[in-house]
Chain A
Amino acid sequence: MMLPALLVLVLITVLPFIMLIAMSFAKVRLLGGVSLSMNGFGNWSDVLTDPATWHSWGVTLLFFVLAVGMEMIVGTVLALILNSMRRGQSLAFSLVLLPMFLAPITVGLLGNFLLDPTIGLYSWVMESLHLVGAHQSVFGSQTTAMLAVTTLDMWEWAPLVALIVLAGLTSVSPSVLEAASVDGAGYLRTLFSIVIPSILPVLLVALLVRSMDAVRYYDIVHITTGGGPANTTWVISLQLNEKVQATAVDGITTLIGQSAVIGITMLVFTIIIANVFVRVLDRRGLMK
Chain B
Amino acid sequence: MDKTQTDTGMARRTVLSAGLGAGLGLAALGLAGCTPSAKTSGSGSGWKQFSGTTINFISENTAPSAAIAANSKPFEDLTGIKVNITQMALENLVQKVKLDMSGGTSQYHVVYADPYQVLAPLSQGLTDLNQFVNDKKYPPVEKGLADFIALDAAGRFESKSKLYALPYDCPTMIWMFRQDLFDKYKSKMQADLGFDPTPSGKITWEQYYQIADWFNKNAKADVPYGTGHQAKQHDSLQCDFSNVLWAYGADYFDVPDIGTVGSQNPGKSTLTTPQALDAAKFYDKLLKVAHPSSTTWDWDGLGNAFAAGQVAMCPNWHEYAATNEKSLPGKVGYSILPTGPKRSANNWGGTGIGINANAKGNEQGAAWLFVNWATSPATQVMTLKSAKGGGTPTRTSVYDMAEVKKAEKRPSDMPNMLTASAVLEAWKPENIGLRPKVATWNQLDTIVYTNLSKMIAGSQDPTTTMQAMASQFDKVNG
Direct contact between A and B in the complex (CB less than 8 angstroms)?
yes
Binding site for B on A (CB under 8 A): 30-34, 116-119, 133-137, 139-142, 225-232, 234, 242, 244-251, 255
Per DSSP, are chain A's interface residues mostly helix, strand or loop, or mixed?
loop
Instruction: Given A135-B310, A228-B233, decide whether A33 and B304 contact each other with a Cβ distance below 8 A.
Output: no
Number of A-B contacts (CB under 8 A): 115
Binding site for A on B (CB under 8 A): 91, 94-95, 98, 101-104, 120-125, 224-225, 232-234, 291-296, 301, 304-305, 308, 310, 439-440, 442-443, 446, 450, 453-454, 456-457, 459-460
Q: Which one of B121, B233, B293, B443 lies within 8 Å of A117 (CB-CB)?
A: B293
- The CA-CA distance from A141 to B231 in the complex, in Å, is 12
- A229-B308 in contact (CB<8A): no
Contacts A137-B295, A248-B121 known; 7 new A-B pairs at CB < 8 A: A31-B125, A118-B293, A142-B459, A228-B295, A246-B442, A248-B442, A255-B443
Instruction: Given A30-B102, A134-B224, A246-B446, decide whether A229 and B124 contact each other with a Cβ distance below 8 A.
Output: no
- A227-B233 in contact (CB<8A): yes
- B295-A231 in contact (CB<8A): no
Q: Could you write out 9 A-B pairs with CB less than 8 Å apart?
A: A30-B102, A33-B104, A134-B224, A137-B296, A225-B296, A231-B453, A234-B450, A242-B446, A246-B442
- B453-A118 in contact (CB<8A): no
Instruction: Given A226-B233, A249-B98, decide whether A33 and B224 contact each other with a Cβ distance below 8 A.
Output: no
- A33-B439 in contact (CB<8A): no
A224 to chain B, nearest CB (A): 9
B124, B292, B294: which has the most chain A beta carbons within 10 Å?
Answer: B292
- A231-B296 in contact (CB<8A): no
Chain B residues whose CB sits within 8 angstroms of the CB of A234 once the complex forms: 450
A261 to chain B, nearest CB (A): 17
When C-beta atoms are compared, the residue in chain A nearest to B291 turns out to be A135
- B308-A250 in contact (CB<8A): no
Q: Which one of B104, B225, B454 lies within 8 Å of A231 (CB-CB)?
A: B454
- A33-B103 in contact (CB<8A): yes
Instruction: Given A31-B102, A117-B293, A228-B234, decide whether A248 and B450 contact each other with a Cβ distance below 8 A.
Output: no
Top 4 A-B pairs, shortest CB-CB distance: A228-B233, A30-B102, A230-B457, A248-B121
- The CA-CA distance from A255 to B121 in the complex, in Å, is 13
B91, B94, B294, B453: which has the most chain A beta carbons within 10 Å?
Answer: B453
- B121-A135 in contact (CB<8A): no
Per DSSP, are chain B's interface residues mostly helix, strand or loop, or mixed?
helix
Instruction: Given A32-B104, A230-B454, A250-B124, decide whether A136 and B95 contact each other with a Cβ distance below 8 A.
Output: no
Chain B residues whose CB sits within 8 angstroms of the CB of A228 once the complex forms: 232-234, 295, 453
- The CA-CA distance from A232 to B460 in the complex, in Å, is 13
Instruction: Given A228-B232, A229-B295, A248-B439, decide whether A119 and B304 contact each other with a Cβ distance below 8 A.
Output: yes
- B450-A33 in contact (CB<8A): no
Chain B residues whose CB sits within 8 angstroms of the CB of A242 once the complex forms: 446
- B459-A230 in contact (CB<8A): yes
Chain A residues whose CB sits within 8 angstroms of the CB of B103 once the complex forms: 33
Chain B residues whose CB sits within 8 angstroms of the CB of A139 once the complex forms: 296
- B233-A229 in contact (CB<8A): yes
- B296-A117 in contact (CB<8A): yes
- B291-A245 in contact (CB<8A): no
B232 to chain A, nearest CB (A): 6
- The CA-CA distance from A231 to B453 in the complex, in Å, is 8
Chain B residues whose CB sits within 8 angstroms of the CB of A249 once the complex forms: 98, 101-102, 121-122, 124-125
When C-beta atoms are compared, the residue in chain B nearest to A28 turns out to be B102
B301 to chain A, nearest CB (A): 8
When C-beta atoms are compared, the residue in chain B nearest to A228 turns out to be B233
When C-beta atoms are compared, the residue in chain A nearest to B438 turns out to be A248
Instruction: Given A140-B295, A250-B123, decide whether A118 and B308 contact each other with a Cβ distance below 8 A.
Output: yes
- The CA-CA distance from A134 to B439 in the complex, in Å, is 42
- A135-B292 in contact (CB<8A): yes
B67 to chain A, nearest CB (A): 24
Chain B residues whose CB sits within 8 angstroms of the CB of A33 once the complex forms: 102-104
- B225-A135 in contact (CB<8A): yes
A142 to chain B, nearest CB (A): 5
A232 to chain B, nearest CB (A): 8
Chain B residues whose CB sits within 8 angstroms of the CB of A119 once the complex forms: 304, 308
- The CA-CA distance from A34 to B103 in the complex, in Å, is 7
Chain B residues whose CB sits within 8 angstroms of the CB of A230 once the complex forms: 233, 453-454, 456-457, 459-460
